[in-house]
């Protein structure tokens, strides 16, 4: 408890992230959601346990966001873009009951982790989800308008990992990737290309290592994300500029296809 960090949204905890990631692997997402929420409701009437309450709240919020299309958390928009499922009355009722249990102020591990004011702020953040589950009217948020006025504000972020975790910051591959991403961010041609998306930011997650990797691309309300992998066998410490350019082009090409942004500007002309 002394090391607890308050979560701003329902998807911020490790338990919530793991739960919604596991759902993506299920053949029938709605059925998996119903099973998880039913178990939570049956086992948590006396006390909402750590882990179960965070994961069940996250699932309930995804169901609410599917119903209304309104979500204050960008994670929900990306997850729903990647996963198709239908909410029937039974699933909606389960989600409403689980949401109520997960946000009750007593006999609830999650509530006990917050002081009263922080808990009120957390519950207030969840209000759009609660309204959706109960069919209450709520105003649609204003259309998102990206801000491109600051040329120093990066619109592209790139993160690389391998089987042992994140790439070392001082590795040849990471250094060259950082230089290339900076050049892309500073290029007027690339910035104009990205502005066609109507989004603020593009986040690419690349995995470098042997074996096939699942690839996912999604559009949120304000950002786009792409997760992609490579079956690389070369020594990343000796990666050439051409290899780094090729890998980044692959990721950018996939997001370009998904968002229909048209042909990519040249990467090879930029300094790596």
Helices assigned H by DSSP within the chain = 14-23, 29-43, 52-68, 74-82, 89-102, 109-112, 116-125, 127-133, 172-186, 188-195, 241-259
- The per-residue pLDDT for 223 is 98
Q: Rounded CA gap, 89 and 271, in Å?
A: 56
- The per-residue pLDDT for 8 is 84
Please state, rounded to an integer, the average pLDDT across all residues of the chain. Answer: 91
pTM of the model: 0.91
Residues 6+ apart with CB under 8 A from 169: 175
Main-chain dihedrals φ then ψ at residue 166, nearest 5 degrees: -70, 150
Residue 133: CB atoms within 10 Å: 24
- The per-residue pLDDT for 2 is 39
On the CB side of 255, CA atoms within 13 Å amount to 27
What mean pLDDT is predicted for residues 174-190?
A: 93
- The per-residue pLDDT for 225 is 96
The pairing of strands 165-166 and 201-209 is unpaired
**Cβ(72)–Cβ(55) below 8 Å:** no
Main-chain dihedrals φ then ψ at residue 157, nearest 5 degrees: -125, 135
């Amino acid at each position: 408890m002394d090391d607890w960090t308050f979560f701003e949204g329902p998807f911020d905890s490790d338990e919530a992230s793991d739960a919604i990631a596991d759902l993506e692997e299920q053949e029938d997402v709605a059925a998996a959601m119903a099973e998880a929420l039913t178990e939570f409701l049956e086992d948590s009437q006396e006390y909402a346990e750590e882990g179960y309450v965070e994961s069940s709240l996250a699932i309930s919020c995804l169901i609410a966001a599917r119903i209304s299309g309104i979500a204050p958390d960008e994670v929900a928009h990306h997850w729903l873009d990647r996963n198709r499922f239908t909410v029937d009355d039974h699933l909606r009722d389960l989600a409403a009951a689980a949401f109520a249990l997960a946000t009750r102020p007593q006999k609830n591990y999650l509530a006990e982790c917050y002081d009263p004011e922080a808990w009120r702020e957390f519950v207030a953040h969840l209000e759009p989800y609660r309204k959706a589950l109960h069919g209450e009217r709520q105003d649609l948020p204003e259309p998102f308008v990206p801000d491109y006025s600051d040329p120093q504000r990066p619109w592209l972020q790139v993160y690389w990992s391998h089987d042992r975790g994140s790439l070392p910051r001082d590795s040849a591959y990471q250094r060259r990737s950082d230089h290339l991403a900076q050049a892309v961010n500073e290029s007027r041609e690339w910035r104009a290309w990205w502005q066609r998306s109507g989004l603020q930011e593009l986040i690419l997650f690349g995995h470098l290592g042997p074996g096939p990797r699942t690839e996912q691309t999604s559009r949120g309300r304000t950002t786009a994300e792409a997760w992609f992998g490579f079956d690389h066998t070369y020594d990343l410490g000796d990666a050439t500029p051409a290899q780094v350019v090729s890998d980044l082009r692959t990721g950018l090409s996939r997001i370009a296809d998904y968002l229909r942004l048209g042909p990519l500007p040249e990467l090879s002309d930029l300094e790596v």
